[in-house]
Each structure stands twice: as C-alpha cells, then as structure tokens.
Amino acid sequence: MTLVHVTRVGFVFMRVFVFWLVVLIFRCAFLGICSNILTTTHNCKMSTRYKLTPYNISLLIYPTVYIGSIPLTLLLKQYNKYIGQVFLVRFLEQYLVSNNGYLWFTTLYWLLVAFSAYLPDTNKDILIFYTKIYLINTIWIVILLEWFFGSPIFERISVIAGATCSIRGIYREYACERSGGVWTDPFDSSSHYTYLISSSLLIWSLLLNHVTWISGYFPNHVIDLENSNRYTVPYSNTTGDTKMDSNRTLRTIIEVIAVLILVMWFISFTITSVFFHTIPEKFVGLLCGLFVPIVLKYIK
C-alpha cells in the first residue's frame, strides 16, 4: 500500500471520528435542551429553564466566535506569521495558556470550589459533584493531548492524516523533536481551542452557579447544571454572600482574579480563532472543548 493510499484511508478514519464526535455532542446538547417531552404528542418542548440561561449563552459564545472568525481567517491569513511575535500574544502563550494553562485552571477551579461553592454551606455533595467534573475533564484532556495507550487522540489523528518524522521509526511528535528530527504535521487539531473552551466554561459554571455579584446581572435564576436545586444557589438566598464570614474578602479576590483570567483566555481564544490553525483543525478543537461542558448535566 502506497503512502497516498495510507493518507486517503487516514482521512476517511479522521472524518468518521469527527462525524461521530459531532453526533455525540449535538445529541447530548439536544437531550439537555429538550428534556421535557409531552407523552401525548411526542413533541420536544424547550423548558424555560433552558431558554437562554447564562450558561447556555456562554456555551454559544465560543461556536459563534469560531464561525464569525472564518472570514477574518481567510482575509488576514497573510499576517499569521507575524502575530506570534506580538508581545500580548507571547505573554498569553507563555504564562497563561501553553506553559501554565492547566495549572491556572486547576488552581482557579479548586479555589472557587472551596471558597465559593463548598465553604458557605460545607455541603459535601457539592464537593463530590465538582470533583467528578474535574476528574472527567482531566481524563478527557489527557487522552486527547497527552496519552491514550500510547499516542494521544490528537496525535493519532495527525498520524492518520499523514504526519511524519524525518527520522524513520518515530511516530510521536515529542519523541521526534527530542531525537533532533523534524515533525511534519498536515493536520494539527487545535489543542488551544480544546483547553481554552473546556477550562473557561467549567470556571464560568462555578461563577454563574455560586457567585451572586456575577449571576445577579442575569434575570430570575442561576443556571442549574444538574437539573436539581441542590446545586443551584438562588440569587436572593445565597448563603455565601449574605453570611458575614471571615472568608468573604478572600472569596471576592479569588472571584475577581478568575474573571480577569477568563477575559485573558478569551482574548487568546479570539486570537487563535483568527490567526492560528486551519478552519477544520479549529473545528475539531471546538467539538472536543465543548464535550465536557455540554455533558455536565449527566454527571451525578
């Protein structure tokens, strides 16, 4: 079998993988939104709980930016090689995304869980719930970007699409670079997209669910991730914000820092949307980044 045939077969497998990933994510989203089905008519009805809640809006922002960036990607592609030299881009990449990104996410996530979600009522169910979310997200990121019985999923997609090392017998990017080889990758799924979307939405879920000076800007209610009141803190009755405890100042500082980091992550996401990766590469990253945030309601 020639290299041309291998590459063609690789693209077929890659398309099948992306297709089923799209089906799975949209099926989860559809079931989450259309959970109230009338048994008499079998018509899917959207509950008011799922109509433009703050969290649903945040879920829509990232696909919207992706779609809106496509014309700019095509129009400004001649500047792609220069944007990486801009100070802001280098700063975000070095300190907040690539090198320390998951450390920032982990730190912010557990500080918010501890001070904004758990400590106000010391509810162990909340702690268990958010621990499950963190573990599922971490496992998902690991199998996509780091390891999946050898090469991670994204690297396997690259190899199937025709990625090669200049040194024969090496099929992993890191191993190729450590050996002094050159890794040629025709399809580099956007790990930036995956990390920035999943991390941002999980932090937003905590802020919207437990921080009333944020959720208070939205009408009536805070998002209910679990379709259950035990994880929802109504704006008018949030114990954490009405109780004058010694942790309130520290909690507010943590929440403000989290919002600032989210803003910088969104700037990095927007820059990536316009100047980095191809449109299909970002599409794969988008789907994988939305996976855990969309299936949150199925985590018990």
* Helix, strand, coil percentages for the chain (3-state, nearest 5): 70, 5, 25
37: three-class secondary structure by DSSP: strand
Decide: 208 and 270 in contact? Cβ < 8 Å. Answer: no
Total count of domains within the chain: 1
Q: Is residue 268 part of a domain?
A: yes
CA–CA gap between residue 3 and residue 14 (Å, rounded):
16
pLDDT in tens, 159-189: 999 899 999 888 888 889 888 999 998 899 9
pLDDT in tens, 217-232: 665 444 444 444 433 4
pLDDT of the residue at 216: 62
Q: Residue 141 is part of which domain span?
A: 52-162+188-219+246-297
Q: Is residue 31 part of a domain?
A: no
Q: Is residue 127 part of a domain?
A: yes
Q: Is residue 261 part of a domain?
A: yes
Q: Is residue 77 part of a domain?
A: yes
pLDDT in tens, 193-252: 999 999 999 999 999 888 777 766 665 444 444 444 433 443 334 444 444 456 788 888
Phi-psi category of residue 43: left, alpha or beta, with phi > 0 → left and psi -120 to 50 → alpha? beta
pLDDT of the residue at 107: 96
pLDDT of the residue at 246: 61
Non-local CB neighbours of 21 within 8 Å, separated by 6+ positions: 284, 287, 288, 291
- The pTM of this model reads 0.76
Average pLDDT, the chain: 78
Task: Give 144-197 as a 3 state SS string.
Answer: HHCCCCCCCHHHHHHHHHCCEECCCCCCCHHHHHHCCCCEECCCCCCHHHHHHH
Q: Is residue 145 part of a domain?
A: yes
pLDDT in tens, 35-51: 433 333 334 344 444 45
Q: Is residue 32 part of a domain?
A: no
CA–CA gap between residue 141 and residue 236 (Å, rounded):
36
Residue 191, judged by CB atoms within 10 A of its CB (0-12, 13-18, 19+), counts as buried
Question: With bands split at pLDDT 50, 70 and 90, how would you rate the model's confidence at 115?
Answer: confident
106: three-class secondary structure by DSSP: helix
Q: Is residue 1 part of a domain?
A: no
108: three-class secondary structure by DSSP: helix
For residue 131, pLDDT beyond 90: yes
